Amino acid sequence: MLVTQYFLKDLFKGKTVFVTGGGSGINLGVAKNFAALGANIAICGRSQEKLNAAAADLRAFGTKVCAVSADVRDSAALEAAFEQSKAELGAMDVLVCGAAGNFLAPAEKLSANGFKTVIDIDLLGSFNATHKAFEQLKETRGTILYISAGMAYIPHAFQVHVGAAKAGIDMMMKNIALEWGRFGIRANSIVPGSIEETEGLKRLSDPAEKEKLVAAVPLLRTGTVDDIGQLAAFLSSPLASYITGCVVVCDGGQNLPGSALFNATAELVLRAQHG
Ligand code: COA
Ligand code: NAP
C-alpha cells in the first residue's frame, strides 16, 4: 500500500530524492513511495538496464527521473551522477544510501577480498555518497537515510562481513548526525526486517521455511517494500524534523527473539548452495 493514502500527495513536490541502489528491491520501493508523493527521483546502480526498467516504473507516477549508472565504490562516478541529477532535477533534498551486497559465507571460508567487497559496497559506498552529497544537502538543509540491517546489532551466522559493514554504517550515521546537524542536515538509519520479494530475502532464506519465518515474527507477517517506503517518507518529512541520529527498526518485531531461526535456516541454505 503506497504512502499516498496517509500523506498529502504533494508532500515532496519539487524535492529531489537520490537513491543509491535504487534500481531494484527495497530501494526501488522507497523511490516509488517518494515518487507517489511528488518527488523527482534519481537512482544509481551498476546495471544501466536495471535502472532503465526502474525509471520506466517511476515515470508512471508522473515524476521526473534521472537514472545514471555509478558504482558506489567509485567516488568520482558518484560525484558525476550527483552533478547530473542536480542539473536535471535540482539539488538533492534526500539521499538514501541503499546500495549493498550480501551472500552467506562462514567466517572461516570467507576470503579477505570477500569481506572487503561487502565493506566497500555497503560502508565505504555509503560514506562516498554521503561525502559527495554534502554540498547539495547543505544547500537544501536535506536529510540522509541509510538502509541498515538487523545484522548491525544482533550477530547472525555467516554474516560477519554484513554485520561489520552495517554496524559501521549505523555509527557513521550517528557521527554525521552529530557533525552536520548545524547545517540543518539530519541523518537516520532504517533497519528492515525480512522483506518479501527481494534479492536479500532470496539470498538468505529458504522459501520452504517461510511459514516458520512468519510464525516467529511477533506481527506474524514478513515486511513489504512499502513498509520501508512509508518509514522513509516519514523520516524525510517535516513530521520528523527533530529526529536525527536514530536507528529505526521496521521489522514487525522480528529481532526480538534473536537470530536462532535465521542461523538454523542459513545453515540449510548454505548446504543447499555449496553442499
Ligand atoms: N561466498 C563467499 N565469497 C563470495 C561469494 C559467496 N557467495 N560471492 C562473492 N564472494 C567473494 C568472491 O570470491 C571474491 O573474493 P576472492 O577474490 O577472494 O575470490 C569477492 O567476494 C568479490 O567477488 P566479486 O564477484 O568479484 O564481487 P562483485 O563486486 O562483482 O559483486 C557481490 C559483489 C559479491 C556482493 C555480489 O553478490 C553482488 O553484486 N551483489 C549485489 C546484489 C545483492 O547482494 N543484493 C542483496 C542485498 S541485501
Ligand atoms: P537488491 O534489490 O539487490 O538491492 C541492492 C541494490 O544495490 C541493487 O539495485 C544493486 O544494483 C545495487 N548495488 C549493488 N552493488 C552496488 C554497487 N557497488 N554500486 C551501486 N549500486 C550497487 O536487494 P534488497 O534485498 O532490496 O536490498 C536493499 C537494501 O536493503 C540493502 O541495503 C540491504 O542490505 C537492505 N536490507 C534488505 C533486507 C531484505 O529483506 N531484503 C533486510 C534488511 C536490509 P546493481 O546490481 O545494478 O548494482
Tens digits of residue pLDDT in 7-38: 999 999 999 999 999 999 999 999 999 999 99
pLDDT at 68 over 70: yes
Q: Is the CB of 113 under 6 A from ligand 1?
A: yes
CA–centroid distance, residue 158 to ligand 1 (Å): 14
Question: Residue 5: what pLDDT?
Answer: 74
Identify the H or E element spanning 135. helix 125-140
Residue 184 three-state SS: coil
Please compute the mean of the pLDDT values over residues 254-259 and round it to a whole number.
98
Q: Does the CB atom of residue 226 touch ligand 2 within 6 A?
A: no
Which ligand places an atom closest to the C-alpha of 154? Answer: 2
C-alpha cell at 106: 562462514
> What is the predicted pLDDT for the residue at 204?
95
Place of cell 537512482: 43
Would you place residue 258 in the very low, low, confident or very high pLDDT band (cuts 50, 70, 90)? very high
Q: What's the mean pLDDT when you consider all of the chain? A: 97
Q: Check residue 273 and give its pLDDT.
A: 86
Q: Is the pTM of this model over 0.95?
A: yes
The helix (H) or strand (E) run that includes residue 249 is strand 246-250
Res 1: pLDDT:
56
The pLDDT, as a whole number, for residue 17 is 99
- Letter for the amino acid at 221? R
What confidence score (pLDDT) does residue 194 get? 98
pLDDT band of residue 2 (cuts 50, 70, 90) is: low
The model's confidence at residue 6, banded by pLDDT at 50, 70 and 90, is: confident
The one-letter amino acid at 241: S
pLDDT at 71 over 90: yes
Catalytic residues: 148, 166
Which residue's alpha carbon is nearest to atom 27 within ligand 1?
Answer: 117
Q: Write down all domains in the chain, each with its CATH number in brackets.
A: 7-204+223-254 (3.40.50.720)
b/e code 41-58 from CB counts within 10 Å (16+ = b): bbbbbbeeebbeebbeeb
Q: Which residue's CA lies nearest to atom 45 of ligand 1?
A: 101
Q: Whose CA is nearest to atom 11 of ligand 2?
A: 45
pLDDT tens sequence across 172-230: 999 999 999 999 999 999 999 999 999 999 999 999 999 999 999 999 999 999 999 99
